[in-house]
Every structure is written in C-alpha cells, then in structure tokens.
C-alpha cells in the first residue's frame, strides 16, 4: 500500500516537471502534431519512470548509522507504532479516482442519450448524429455530433469535426482521461488536459484551412458560433480564451524548425529523474568519524518455553545492569558490529531472536526465529549469546525463567 502511494506521488512529481517544461518552452510553438505526440508519449514515459530500476553508483561507499531495536520494560506486548495515514491517504486517493471515473461515465451517458435523440446517418463515410436545436458540434469517439443547421449551412464546421476523427484525437482523450483518473490530485494534469484539447483544435483548424477554406471567413465563423450572431457587433470585447488562442495561432507565422531541438532538453531532465528515482544503496555521504549508532526501542513479543514465563506475565521483570530491559538494548547496541560484507552489499533487515533469562540470570536457549542474511543472523546471535548475567525475574516470590523475543534491526542510513 505504501509502495503504491509512493509510486503515485513520485510519478505525479515527474509528470509535473514534464508538463511545466512544455508550458514554459513549447506551448506557443506551431508544431501541433509534434507537440501532441511528445505530450502523449512523455506522459506515459514519465508516469512509468518510477518503475524503472537502474543501479546507480554511490558518491562514497560509507555505511550510515546502525539502528538496533531492543526491548522495553512493560507489562504487555506493544505493537510497533504505526500511523493510519497510509490507509487514510489510500482511501482519499481511491475516492478521487472514483469521482473522476463517475463523472466520466455520466458524461459519456449524456452524450449517448443525446445521440439516441438525434438522427443517425453516414456522411462522407463518417457516422454522424444530426441533433435538433442549436446544439454545438463535437465528436465522441469516431462519431460526429452536429446540429442540422450547421450541417446544412456551415460546411466548414463539419469539415472541422471530420479532422478530429481523421487525426484520431479520441484516442488521445481516452488515454488522458486515464491519466486524469490516476493523478487527479495533480493540478497540472488538468491544465494539460486543456492544453491537449487546444492542440486538437489547432491541428483541426490547420487542416480545415489547408483544404481551401478561407481563413478569415473561418475565423469569423468561430466568433459567431462562440458569441452568437446577435452579439457579433460586440466581438471586439470578446474574452473567450480558447477562441483567442485558436485565432492567434492561425495568424502566427510558423515557428523556427530549430525550436524542435528544445525537446532535447528533456534528455538531461530524464537522466536526473532516473537518478533521483533510483538512488544507490549507500548514497548518504558521511565521514567514518561521524558514524554513530542510534537506538530504537520496541516492546518484546513473548514465546512459551516449557515452565518459562512470558515477559509480560512475570510479576517482577528481569533486570540488566541494574536497569530495565532497555539497558540490554544499549549493551547490544554497543557490542554489535555490522558485518562488513553485508554493509558493502547493502543488506539490511530485521533479525528476530528468542532467548531465555534463566533462574541464575544467565542467557540460554538463544534461537533464531527469523533471519535476514547469514552474516547478520550470526552477528545478532553471537552478541546476544555473550550477554552478561541478568537479575532473574521473580514470580510468586521465586526466581523463574523468562522468555524474550528480541528484534535486532540492521539498517543502513
């Protein structure tokens, strides 16, 4: 669960970096098809980038601090501290995905109902739904939805919609809808959905003009459809951002071909993100003299051993060096050495050991319950077996054997 949330967060960050590059560098260029292809391919690449595992060399192969987890004096088993944040975040994330999916489903249902109320025909090889009233024209999948008046009187509008189908813009929209569902929390994803729609309009407008339709008349038609024929005299104050962008892009001279090379800047950006996504096992630069050992205490589990009494059930707990069980943790921490071979290989993990404090205070029956690596296991068993004597536990006024389950966590920081 935590790994999935980390993937979603990392990939969302990488997508944000990629989209920011597009908005800052390539947004105003006239490479509509190229921008569209790079935007889609880049979205997939940067979304999957955190899954790429590449070994990177460390800057200095120096192991970080060693963490050893021991026992804590207490009357019962205390589970490892864990916060419900991962579960809460996952629930919030799934709820967001469900909302976006639900809105998408309802939108598709409305479009399909609109088509059922219209007249279905084929025009110039395209499945066309002729809508009643003054409905705006649009495409959904490979189908064209257009008002009867636009179909009869405005051939440029039908041509524009056919360009959307010919260019397969519907595939882009379906793909980006999936991106919106998975990364709905990233505001730049929603911004780029609008930018992708603009690229579609730019590409369709360019194709319409290339078919011989007068650019000026086509631009006037766009304004009329946007503001209404009765308000055409007020079009100079028109503030419809997408329409302004479309007309501006039609009038803009073609961008220099050299601008295409701007996309090469994505290569070092990609390399940086790959390195950030795949840190080396020992990439913390620390001087050996500053190497320290830190302590993390946990309460013990217990295990039955014949007439031995579990730690949390004994009346008087065993003591070590005159203190509670945490003193044993400190002793282990000071005597345990991280095996050099395991350190260099980056091997870490939790070794779980069971032992018994006998009635004379000696540590006996040292057993490995769960291991990680042969060298780590042997190091943990060795140091626990060499433990000095304890003060034995007491039950009903008599010394008794007390069992512990002692976790030793080897962790390279």
Chain segment 296-312, per-residue pLDDT in tens? 434 344 334 347 888 87
Nearest CA to 199 among 46, 30, 15? 30
Domain co-membership, 347 together with 261: no
Tell me the CATH number at 304: 3.30.1150
Domain co-membership, 222 together with 327: no
What is residue 305's predicted lDDT score, i.e. its pLDDT?
39
Is residue 132 a part of any domain in this protein? no
Contact by Cβ (8 Å): 86, 313: no
What is residue 152's predicted lDDT score, i.e. its pLDDT?
81
Is the pLDDT assigned to residue 9 strictly greater than 50? yes
Is residue 145 a part of any domain in this protein? no
CA pair distance 46, 18, nearest whole angstrom = 7
Contact by Cβ (8 Å): 85, 314: no
Domain co-membership, 224 together with 314: no
Domain co-membership, 384 together with 264: no
Chain segment 41-92, per-residue pLDDT in tens? 999 998 888 887 654 444 333 333 344 444 333 333 333 344 467 788 889 9
CA 345, 346, 349, 353 dihedral sign is: positive
Is residue 146 a part of any domain in this protein? no
Is residue 345 a part of any domain in this protein? yes
Of 62 and 104, more confident = 104
Sheet containing 402-410: which strands, arranged edge to edge? Answer: 309-310, 402-410, 349-357, 363-370
Domain co-membership, 304 together with 271: no
Of 118 and 75, more confident = 118
Q: What angle do CA 67, 72, 76 make, to 5 degrees?
A: 135
Contact by Cβ (8 Å): 25, 49: no
Chain segment 317-354, per-residue pLDDT in tens? 888 887 777 788 888 888 888 888 888 888 888 889 98
Helix, strand or coil for residue 81? coil
Domain co-membership, 47 together with 170: yes
Number of separate domains in the chain: 2
What is residue 215's predicted lDDT score, i.e. its pLDDT?
81
Strand 66-70 versus strand 402-410 pairing type: unpaired
Contact by Cβ (8 Å): 177, 137: no
Nearest CA to 95 among 184, 193, 7? 184
What is residue 84's predicted lDDT score, i.e. its pLDDT?
64
Q: What angle do CA 74, 79, 84 make, to 5 degrees?
A: 135
Helix, strand or coil for residue 173? helix
pLDDT band at 290 (very low <50, low <70, confident <90, very high): very low
Domain extent for 261: 2-60+87-114+165-277
pTM passes above 0.95: no
Is residue 323 a part of any domain in this protein? yes
Is residue 160 a part of any domain in this protein? no
> What ranges in 131-168 are assigned the alpha helix state H?
148-153, 155-166
Domain co-membership, 263 together with 378: no
- Please give the structure tokens belonging to residue 55: 């070994």
Domain co-membership, 372 together with 272: no
Beta bridge partners of 352: 370, 407
């Amino acid at each position: 669960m935590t790994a999935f949330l980390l993937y979603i967060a990392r990939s969302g960050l990488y997508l944000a970096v990629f989209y920011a590059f597009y908005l800052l560098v390539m947004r105003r260029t006239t490479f509509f098809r190229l921008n569209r292809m790079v935007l889609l391919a880049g979205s997939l690449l940067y979304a999957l980038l955190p899954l790429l595992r590449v070994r990177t060399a460390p800057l200095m192969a120096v192991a970080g601090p060693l963490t050893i987890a021991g026992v804590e004096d207490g009357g019962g088993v205390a589970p490892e501290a864990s916060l419900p944040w991962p579960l809460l975040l996952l629930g919030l994330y799934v709820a967001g995905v469900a909302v976006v999916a639900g809105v998408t489903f309802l939108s598709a249902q409305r479009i399909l109902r609109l088509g059922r109320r219209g007249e279905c025909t084929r025009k110039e090889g395209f499945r066309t739904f002729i809508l009643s009233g003054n409905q705006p024209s649009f495409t959904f999948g490979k189908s064209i939805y257009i008002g009867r008046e636009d179909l009869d009187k405005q051939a440029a509008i039908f041509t524009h919609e056919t360009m959307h189908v010919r260019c397969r813009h519907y595939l882009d929209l379906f793909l980006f809808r999936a991106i919106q569902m998975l990364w709905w929390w990233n505001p730049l994803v929603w911004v780029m959905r609008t930018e992708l729609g603009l690229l579609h309009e730019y590409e369709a407008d360019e194709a319409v003009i290339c078919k011989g339709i007068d650019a000026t008349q086509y631009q006037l038609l766009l304004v009329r459809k946007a503001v209404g024929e009765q308000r055409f005299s007020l079009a100079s104050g028109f503030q419809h951002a997408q329409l302004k962008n479309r007309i501006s892009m039609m009038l803009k001279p073609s961008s220099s071909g050299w601008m295409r090379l701007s996309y090469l800047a994505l290569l070092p950006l990609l390399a940086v993100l790959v390195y950030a996504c795949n840190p080396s096992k020992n990439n913390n630069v620390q001087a050996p003299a500053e190497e320290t050992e830190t302590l993390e205490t946990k309460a013990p589990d217990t295990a039955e051993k014949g007439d031995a009494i579990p730690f949390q059930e004994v009346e008087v707990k065993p003591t070590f060096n005159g203190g509670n069980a945490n003193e044993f943790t400190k002793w282990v921490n000071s005597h345990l050495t991280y095996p050099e071979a395991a350190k260099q290989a980056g091997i870490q993990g939790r070794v779980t050991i069971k032992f018994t404090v006998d009635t004379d205070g000696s540590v006996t029956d040292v057993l490995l319950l769960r291991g990680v690596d042969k060298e780590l296991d042997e190091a943990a068993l060795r140091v626990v077996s060499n433990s000095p004597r304890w003060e034995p536990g007491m039950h009903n006024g008599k010394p008794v054997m007390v069992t512990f389950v002692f976790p030793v966590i080897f962790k390279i920081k």
